[in-house]
Structure formats: structure tokens, C-alpha cells
Amino acid sequence: MPGINLLDCTLRDGGYLNDWEFGHDNIVNIFERLVSAGVDIIEIGFLNESRKYDVNRTIFPDAQTVNLTYAGLDKGRSMIVGMIDYGTCSIERMIPAQDSFMDGIRVIFKKDKKENAIAFCRQIKELGYKVFAQAVSITSYDDDELMELIGLVNDLEPYAFSLVDTYGLLHKNQLMHYFEFANEHMKPAIGLGYHSHNNFQLAYANCIEIMEIPALKREIVIDGTLYGMGKSAGNAPLELLATYMNDNLGKKYHCSQLSEAIDVTILELYKKIPWGYSFKFFLSASKDCHPNYVTYLMDKKKLSVKSINEILDKLEHSKRLSYDQAYVEHLYVEYQKRECDDTTDRAHLREWLQGREILMLGPGKHVVEQRDRIEAYLEERRADSPIRISINFIPQVLPIDAVFISNAKRYVTLSTKLCQSAGSFLTLATSNVTKASGAFDYVFNYNSLLDEQAMIVDNPMIMLFRLLREAGVRRVALAGFDGYVKADAPNYINPNMDHSFSREKAAEINQDVRDSIERLGTLGFEIEYITDTLYC
């Protein structure tokens, strides 16, 4: 009978956050609460033949092992379904529906695999399961492509066809276009589903828009998860959907049971691995792109939001929803390569620094913790009057003669101090950094200072070394260049400057910096580390 049914996918979509390791007791608790609440359809996990069976996880190598976890549990009136990402579980891993705890299978697939995925759905249907065809990244389809897909769906006649807004890109008008298009062209016996994500804080609102469409003549399936648990920005909160449907559609879901599941299990998970609307996922949705592009660029900690948006604007349409790290790295490097004629500034720098001794100050915490070493060095070298140049920060512990700025994001945080300190020291900047007003004292061609062989091609210490070598300095002492440590060990004066990576990755980067220094060959000046460092 036509109607609006509520589908919970907490144990499947929520599993992206914890690698599906809910713990067996929690799995049972969530399942039994959903059944007691009267949720119409419950998705109990993924089927993926590359994974081993684990009673504490909701990802299964085959249909038989699903029975091991859920055997003996009461389904109540709920339909029980599992999900297969097409290509991850072969038909040989399935058992007939009559022997399975599952009543149905949802098959997700990308646009380029739709023909083969629909053929796989047909095999699942022949085993007696209710089949849900799930078109991921629905926003990647134009009308002609969607019409072609609907033709395949009509021929299959699955239990339901779902529009999956994988990256939470849909606003009301776009959603209604896709929904009405599918509703108009699909056979009436096929249900129509919607799976949302909350990148724009619209998951709940969009679900309501669909539920308010008058006189629908087919079954509608609305997906949600407890407390919105799910990858990226999360999903539509099941408890909100159930409450709305009770108040407006005459449903009788027992929302207290959903609240119990949230209180006992979900909130504990949220404390460990929070999810939901965030700035990062807003940025990705606003640019219609895979969120990993934003993550990659933000993790650089060198770009302003304006710069990140400008790089995202350069993404090719065909690449936007399919993450390619090498591709975005290329865009990043090309974006940073803003050419300028720095002949005059390089000459002036040489006039100022030739034959001088330099104290380079980095933002590592040792510049504060081992300040006594720096002061002792300055006292010892008083006769040489070392020129003090800090990198991407303005130290509070001692005055400087110049600041070298190669990081656009750090410049934004420094801009106020730079204005307040105008005239106190010189500003040396690379051409990828744009000053808010006025001009830097010196600007150097960013591209010419890169080490293209390095993991971090634009390491600011190496970039300044290149300039100092050309300027003919006599000696360089370094303080505050601590080197990289693992993510949970703060390593900068300002914790906002810290990077996130493993101990192994940190060691790899430290070695890469040593390799960069070696590639510079004979620098022409002596190097002395005043404070502790992992670079030597």
C-alpha cells in the first residue's frame, strides 16, 4: 500500500565512523530498540567479502554470517535489509532469502557501473530478496542520464529505487526536480527513496519537503540514523523524522525507544568520534566536490579559505565527486606558483645581508622553552650583530629585524600584528601571499624557491635557506625549528599551527627535510642549531 516508510541505517552508515565496530551488545540494543520503536525498515550492516566475520562489527563477509549475529532476535513488524556496495560482494556469497535473516538487499552503485549493478540486482531479486537500487551521487546525473537509469530500473522492477545525495549537495529545488522526475517516469509499483547528508544542514528539512508532497501514489522510503550518525556531516536524525511523522502523518513510532538507544549507545560513540555539520563539509558542498579535496587543502595549513575556494573552483567537472589526491596536489602547486619579477628585491636583499650572520627563528615550542640558549647565543655573538628573521610568526620572546612569510593562512592570522608593528621590522614574503593593503617590503618568486623533489615542496625553512644562500650570508643559527612529531604531541607555540599525522609520518617528514638540505649542496654558510631539533 502506498505510504511513507521510515528506514534506519545507523548500523550501516554509522559504521563508517567506527569501522562498524559497535560491539555485539550495542548492536543488539540498537536493533531491538529500533524494532520496539516500530521503525518500518532496518538496515543491519554492510556485506563485503573482503572483511572477516567479527561478532562485534556490522560488516559481514556474506549473508550467512549475518544470521550468526542476528539469529534469534525478533524482527517485529520491521523489514530487515543489508547493503552491498556493488563489486564488493559476489552473488556466490548470498543465500536464498528464505534462509536469511534479511528480507531485502540495498545495492549502491556509481553512475559508470549502473548497467552491471542493475544486472546484479536482478540476481539478488531471483534469490527472493526485496531489492533496493541505490544511485549514489545522484547530483552527478543529468536528466538524460537519469532517464536512462530509470529505464533500467523499470525493467528490473525492484522494491524501491533511492536517490542518494552522497555529499549533501541538494537544496530544495534541486531535490524536488530529481524526485518529481523519478516519480513521473518510474512504474507506480516501485518505491522511491531518499538518502540525505547534512553538509548544508538540510537533511531533515529536505526529508520534510518530500513527506509533504500531496497524493503520492507509490511507497516512499525516507532514510535516517539515530542522532544523525554517519560519515562526513552525518545524516537526517531518525528521532526527528519519527517525531515529525507522528505529529503530521499519523504514524505511531515509539520515540522513547529511539531516545533510549541514543542515550545508552549513540552518545557514547559521539563522545569518541563526533560527526555532524562542520565548516569543512559546508565548503565541499558549496563547491559540489568530494570533501577529501577540502580536507587535503585545509591540512596544508598554508591556505586561506579564499585560496581554498579558488583552487576548488578549478576542479574539472568530471573530477569533482571522485577524489584524486595527485590531481589536487597539482592544482595546489600551480595555484601557489604566482610569478613575479623579484630581480630588484633579490639584489636589495643581497646588499643588506651579504657577509652577515643570521638568526632564523621558527615557531617551534623550543623557541620559548629554551629561550636561555637563544639569549646566550646572542650575548656570545653580540659583536657580530646577528640579523633576526622569524618564519611565519612574530615571536614575543625577543625583537626581530624581519619576518619571512610564505604561508597565506598564517599571514591572515598575523595581519593585525603586522599593522600594529609597521616599521618595527621588514616583511619578506613569497609571491603566493597577497597583502591585505599596501605592499610587503620584499616579495620573492614562490616558484623559484620550491624543492620539487621534497614531500613538502614549499617548506619555509628550505625556501629561506635558498634566499640566504643567494644573498651571500656568512653564518646561520636556527632556533625553534623543532622538527615534526606525532599528532598528539603539541610542537608549536600556537597550537593552531600543529599538523596531524602519525609518528612514522613525522619521522618521514623530518628525514625529507634533511634530504632537502642535502640537495641544496654547499650552502656557502655555516649552520648551527641553537635549540633542540629533529632535523639533525
The full DSSP string for 102-164 is -SEEEEEE-GGGHHHHHHHHHHHHHTT-EEEEEESSGGG--HHHHHHHHHHHHHH--SEEEEE
CA distance 373 to 270: 45
Does 314 share its domain with 430? no
Q: How confident is the model at residue 418 (pLDDT cuts 50, 70, 90)?
A: confident
Percent of the chain with pLDDT over 70: 96
Rounded mean pLDDT of the chain? Answer: 91
Does 330 share its domain with 395? no
CA distance 485 to 369: 16
Q: Final residue of a domain: which of 272, 296, 324?
A: 272
Q: What is the pTM of this model?
A: 0.68
* Per-residue pLDDT at 357 exceeds 70: yes
Q: How confident is the model at residue 496 (pLDDT cuts 50, 70, 90)?
A: very low
**CATH code, domain carrying 99:** 3.20.20.70
pLDDT at residue 493 in the model: 44
Does 372 share its domain with 399? yes
Query: Which has the higher per-residue pLDDT, 468 or 408?
Result: 468
Does 115 share its domain with 226? yes
3-state DSSP assignment of residue 60: strand
Per-position DSSP letters for 468-499, written without gaps between them: HHHHT-SEEEEES------TTS--BSSGGG--
Per-position DSSP letters for 364-415, written without gaps between them: BTHHHHTHHHHHHHHHHTGGG-PEEEEESS--SSS--SEEEE--HHHHHHHH
List the grid coordinates of 125. Answer: 531479486
pLDDT tens-digit map of 76-132: 999 999 999 999 999 999 999 999 999 999 999 999 999 999 999 999 999 999 999
Does 240 share its domain with 381? no
List the grid coordinates of 245. Answer: 511523522
* Per-residue pLDDT at 506 exceeds 80: yes
Does 130 share its domain with 246? yes
472 occurs within a structural domain: yes
* Domains identified in the chain, total number: 3
* Per-residue pLDDT at 1 exceeds 50: no
pLDDT tens-digit map of 420-477: 887 899 999 998 888 877 889 999 998 888 888 888 888 999 999 999 999 999 999 9
280 occurs within a structural domain: no
* Per-residue pLDDT at 180 exceeds 60: yes
Does 254 share its domain with 308? no
Question: Which residue type occupies 232?
Answer: S
282 occurs within a structural domain: no
103 neighbors 67 (Cβ within 8 angstroms): no
* Per-residue pLDDT at 274 exceeds 50: yes
Mean pLDDT, residues 199-214 taken together: 92
Does 451 share its domain with 324? no
Q: Final residue of a domain: which of 272, 296, 315?
A: 272
- Sheet order of strands, 426-430 included: 442-444, 426-430, 402-405, 387-391, 357-361, 475-479, 526-529
281 occurs within a structural domain: no
Query: Which has the higher per-residue pLDDT, 514 or 428?
Result: 428
135 occurs within a structural domain: yes
Mean pLDDT, residues 362-373 taken together: 92
210 occurs within a structural domain: yes
Does 329 share its domain with 399? no
pLDDT at residue 514 in the model: 86
Q: How confident is the model at residue 257 (pLDDT cuts 50, 70, 90)?
A: very high
pLDDT at residue 298 in the model: 87
* Per-residue pLDDT at 498 exceeds 60: no
Which candidate, 353, 332, 364, 340, places its Cα nearest to that of 435?
340
Query: Which has the higher per-residue pLDDT, 36 or 500?
Result: 36
Task: Give strand pairing partners of 387.
Answer: 358
Does 522 share its domain with 448? yes
CA distance 292 to 308: 12
Q: How confident is the model at residue 488 (pLDDT cuts 50, 70, 90)?
A: low
Print the domain residue range for 317. Answer: 287-336
Please give the DSSP secondary-structure letter assigned to residue 351: H
535 occurs within a structural domain: no
Does 306 share its domain with 157? no
Within its chain, how far is the Cα of 425 from the centroid? 39
CB-based contacts of 169: which residues, under 8 Å, 6+ apart? 139, 199, 200, 285, 288
244 occurs within a structural domain: yes
Does 474 share its domain with 397? yes
Mean pLDDT, residues 352-368 taken together: 93
Please give the DSSP secondary-structure letter assigned to residue 263: I
pLDDT at residue 260 in the model: 94
Mean pLDDT, residues 497-510 taken together: 69
Q: How confident is the model at residue 215 (pLDDT cuts 50, 70, 90)?
A: low
